[in-house]
A = this chain, B = another copy of it.
Amino acid sequence: MQPEPPAPAPAPAPASAQSRPTLADVAAHAGVSASTASLAFSGAGPVSDATKQRVFDAAAELGYGGPDPRARSLRRGRSGIVGVVLEERVRAAFLDPVKIQMLDGITEGIAPLGAGLLLLTDTGEPGDNAVSIESAPVDAVVLIGCSPRLAESVDALRRRGIPAVAIEGATGDGIPEISIDNRQATRRGAEYLRELGHSRVALVTLPFDAARTRGALTPELERAGTAATTLERLAGAREVFPDAPAQVAGASSIEEGLEAGRAVLADPAARPTAIIAQSDLLAAGVILAAEEYGIAVPAELSVLGFDGIRVDGLQHDLTTLAQPSAAKGRAAGEAVVRLLAGEVPESVCFTSTLHVGDTTAAAPR
């Protein structure tokens, strides 16, 4: 045996490699063709165990970390990533338990895909090299509470042939939509309050527009409103209490509910006997406001929420319209799976159920 002085590298150290080894390098090192090495890694084709082992050994020796996902996704035409488009900044979305439950449901729904979730925000400008909704390596996207502004992005998605599913957002473009019966549910809740004898009812609503204008609801704001969910729930309440005054909150949070609640309850003379809040967090805030004023809930004031989340720390069992948030997310995820399988999932409208807790009671005489 002769020495081999020109041998580039001994073996264990990937010293010679300027850059990372590729599948081809591994194949060469293992003495097989690139195709065989590929088969070995993907586990698909028929490869003898011996060969497979040889390939893995070579990979280990070269410090090869597996096939490059970029190349793989180019060739396969799939990236294994599902985009989630939020209309707010990440922080805002994550503060809303309903959105979180939906996100969780989505992850559950797309689990069979083994796909990752890419967070995208729908904030105009696709910067220089930014990964926006228009240029993200996603196999499909879930639009959450999408605004009208999304229209062009939706268009881009269609051009790129990326299937989409919308949650709580009418895109009306052949995109399957997952929604709930906002209007009917609220009406049912309102009817329940009427049955309890309430007639002086006030509303605390979610924002109407992107500017999150706060304060008493004005006809102008109501007309200019773009938030579909807010409008639908409002309409449902108005079907029962056409003249109920409404206070608009700036977001769905206890803090905002507290503020709105203070505004509504400030004047003892004009005090309602029941408040319909458009979310549980708002309702929780309203209850705190009532406590501040020494108003007993539900004896003196009934409070109705919406969502059916467990408000961490609230000492009441909120009467609320429980919507299946996680199920919505799961349905969206499953719709994505079907879309990617070439099927055409239908839109789904979930039903909310009235959960009677201890925050509503017969109207005080």
Query: A104 with B90: in contact, given A66-B135, A73-B70, A161-B20 (CB under 8 Å)?
Result: yes
- A90 contacts B69, C-beta separation under 8 Å: no
Assembled-state Cα–Cα distance A69/B253 (Å): 37
Question: A327 at the A/B interface (Cβ < 8 Å)?
Answer: no
Assembled-state Cα–Cα distance A355/B214 (Å): 31
Assembled-state Cα–Cα distance A258/B79 (Å): 44
Shortest distance from the beta carbon of A239 to any chain B beta carbon, whole Å? 31
Digitize A157-181: 1 where CB-to-B-CB distance is under 8 Å, 0 elsewhere. Answer: 1011100000000000000000000
Question: A210 at the A/B interface (Cβ < 8 Å)?
Answer: no
For A288, give the chain B residue with the smallest CB separation.
B313
- Name the segment of A4-12, A110-118, A185-193 touching the other chain: A110-118
Picked from B80, B130, B284, B285, the residue with its CB within 8 Å of the CB of A131 is: B80
Q: List residues 292-333 of chain A with CB under 8 A from any CB of chain B.
A: 311-315
- Name the segment of A95-103, A196-204, A242-250 touching the other chain: A95-103
- A312 contacts B131, C-beta separation under 8 Å: no
Question: A221 at the A/B interface (Cβ < 8 Å)?
Answer: no
Assembled-state Cα–Cα distance A83/B130 (Å): 15
Question: A128 at the A/B interface (Cβ < 8 Å)?
Answer: yes
Digitize A31-49: 1 where CB-to-B-CB distance is under 8 Å, 0 elsewhere. Answer: 0000000000000000000
Q: Which residues of B contact A266 (CB under 8 A)?
A: none
Q: Which residues of B contact A315 (CB under 8 A)?
A: 288
Picked from B128, B137, B312, B314, the residue with its CB within 8 Å of the CB of A137 is: B137
The number of times this chain is found in the oligomer is 2
- A116 contacts B118, C-beta separation under 8 Å: yes
Picked from B107, B119, B137, the residue with its CB within 8 Å of the CB of A79 is: B137
Query: A89 with B114: in contact, given A66-B156, A255-B312 (CB under 8 Å)?
Result: no
- B107 contacts A89, C-beta separation under 8 Å: yes
Query: A160 with B66: in contact, given A104-B90, A315-B288 (CB under 8 Å)?
Result: yes
Picked from B94, B134, B285, the residue with its CB within 8 Å of the CB of A104 is: B94
- A136 contacts B312, C-beta separation under 8 Å: no
Question: A127 at the A/B interface (Cβ < 8 Å)?
Answer: yes
Question: A63 at the A/B interface (Cβ < 8 Å)?
Answer: yes
Q: Which residues of B contact A120 (CB under 8 A)?
A: 116
Question: A2 at the A/B interface (Cβ < 8 Å)?
Answer: no
Query: A131 with B114: in contact, given A20-B161, A312-B255 (CB under 8 Å)?
Result: yes
Question: A1 at the A/B interface (Cβ < 8 Å)?
Answer: no
For A95, give the chain B residue with the smallest CB separation.
B100
Shortest distance from the beta carbon of A70 to any chain B beta carbon, whole Å? 4
- A65 contacts B156, C-beta separation under 8 Å: yes
Digitize A47-80: 1 where CB-to-B-CB distance is under 8 Å, 0 elsewhere. Answer: 0000000000000000111111111011001011
Picked from B63, B77, B314, the residue with its CB within 8 Å of the CB of A313 is: B314
Q: List residues 342-357 of chain A with CB under 8 A from any CB of chain B.
A: none
Question: A281 at the A/B interface (Cβ < 8 Å)?
Answer: yes
Shortest distance from the beta carbon of A364 to any chain B beta carbon, whole Å? 25
- B81 contacts A137, C-beta separation under 8 Å: yes
Per CB-CB distance, the 7 closest pairs between chain A and chain B, nearest first, are A114-B130, A65-B159, A65-B160, A91-B104, A116-B131, A80-B131, A69-B137
Extra pairs beyond A66-B134, A94-B104 (13, CB < 8 Å): A20-B161, A65-B157, A65-B159, A66-B159, A69-B135, A69-B137, A70-B70, A81-B118, A90-B103, A90-B117, A94-B94, A94-B100, A311-B313
